[in-house]
Amino acid sequence: MAAVLLLLAGLLAGGGMYYLQVHAYYDRLPAQASFALTPAGAVAPVQVPVSGFTGIDSDSSPIRYRACFTLEAPADGWAPYADPRPPVAPRWFSCFDAAAIGAALAQGGARAVLGQAEVRYGIDRVVAVFPDGTARAWNQINRCGAAVFAGDPPPPGCPPPPPRN
């Protein structure tokens, strides 16, 4: 009897943790008519018209942002992003397939551009743009964030980190 209770408690705890990680902390974002992209050579992003926007985000982590949309403007002229690493999205957010995005980026079937640098300290918004104008976006830790989040001082050229609360 005790073994059955322990097994049942383990199953309930495991199911609860799965739900919390995959469903509970994500919020669906409202539709957007524009998206911020940074032109090549610029510092600040500009708003570009988009259609079919669908996105998710979470208050629990700055890197849980994912979005899918179609650019309604030319897909050229955006600042390239040097080291894109698309993160895995929950399976239920089916428009964002990190493995397919990563393969397309590696094989030249898509190119990574900077959506917005420092959406939050140490976090950049990266966009994979495909030849047909479809795009996938995510938040990624940049070199400044990687150093500071590891407890090191920011590398040269990085803004000072915000004060800790």
Read off the pLDDT of residues 100-155 as tens digits, 9 standing for 90 and up.
999 999 999 999 999 999 999 999 999 999 999 999 999 999 999 999 999 999 99
Give the Cα separation of 27 and 25 in Å (integer): 7
Bridge partner residues of 141 (DSSP): 123
Q: Where are the domains of the chain?
A: 27-149
Q: What pTM was computed for the model?
A: 0.86
163: confidence class by pLDDT, cuts 50, 70, 90: confident
pLDDT higher at 104 or 13: 104
Instruction: For residue 98, give every residue at least 6 positions away whose Cβ sits within 8 Å of its Cβ, in sequence order, or none.
Output: 86, 87, 88, 89
- Residue 24 is predicted with a pLDDT of 57
CA dihedral (93, 95, 99, 105) in degrees, to 10, reads -140
Which is it for the CA torsion 59, 60, 62, 63, positive or negative?
negative
